[in-house]
Amino acid sequence: MSVYDTILRAQMEQGNLGGKSMMRQLGLDRKEEKRREKKEKKEVAESKIKKHIKFTISHAEVFLSTDSNGLSDPYVIIRKKKHSLTKILRTPYAKETLKPNWDYSETVLMTDKSVIMSYFNCVVELWDHDKIKDDFIGSTKVTCNTTPKAYSDIYDVEILDPKNPKQVNAKLRFSTQVVFP
């Protein structure tokens, strides 16, 4: 852009020169400018929806052994609940124990619109690792807080039996924390 174009553009923006044809020639059509501003605001708003959530899966106590040796090889999957379940993390499995201690942390980028509302719904599942087919121990639904003020929220949850929701198959502790990259 030449100096002349820059001067003309500045004059037109101040209202010293006029005419729609002149504005269009210089690319200063008001509707186009408003459309661009609206698009930029939308992009900024969408970028604010993103939050990094650090999950820490601490430990559990499994009441239901699923292996023939009287133990289990448990691991945890956390799924985000929206229209369908989407896996957001999985711990490694703990070998031959009913009291696994993972101390496993993973930071996940959450882009769901509910995150901006300071919460999101998830399903915490507990599985038993096997060579052929993994056994489902149970699950529970949790509403997690994502407010930056809540430095870290700790959740002690009961993992319920899939066939009998009144039966508790395990207890699990995990935490969430909003982190700023």
Q: What is the 3-state secondary structure (H, E, C) of 104-164?
A: EEEEEEECCHHHHCCEEEEEEEEEECCCCCCEEEEEEEEEEECCCCCCCEEEEEEEECCCC
User: What residues form DSSP beta bridges with 129?
Assistant: none
Task: Please provide the distance, in angstroms rounded to a whole number, between the alpha carbons at the two ends of the chain.
Answer: 38
* All residues at 6 or more sequence positions from 91 whose CB lies less than 8 Å from its CB, including other chains: 57, 75, 76, 77, 102, 104
Task: Round to whole Å and give the CA distance between 179 and 55.
Answer: 10
pLDDT at 22: 54
How many other CB atoms sit within 10 Å of the CB of residue 98? 17
From first to last of its 181 residues, the chain has per-residue pLDDT tens of 677 677 767 766 666 655 555 555 555 566 777 777 777 666 655 555 677 889 999 999 999 899 999 999 999 999 987 667 888 899 999 999 999 999 999 998 887 666 656 778 899 999 999 999 999 999 999 998 877 665 688 999 999 999 999 999 999 999 998 887 6
Nearest to 130 by CA among 93, 90, 99: 93
pTM: 0.71
**Measured CA angle at 122 (ends 107, 94), to 5 deg:** 65
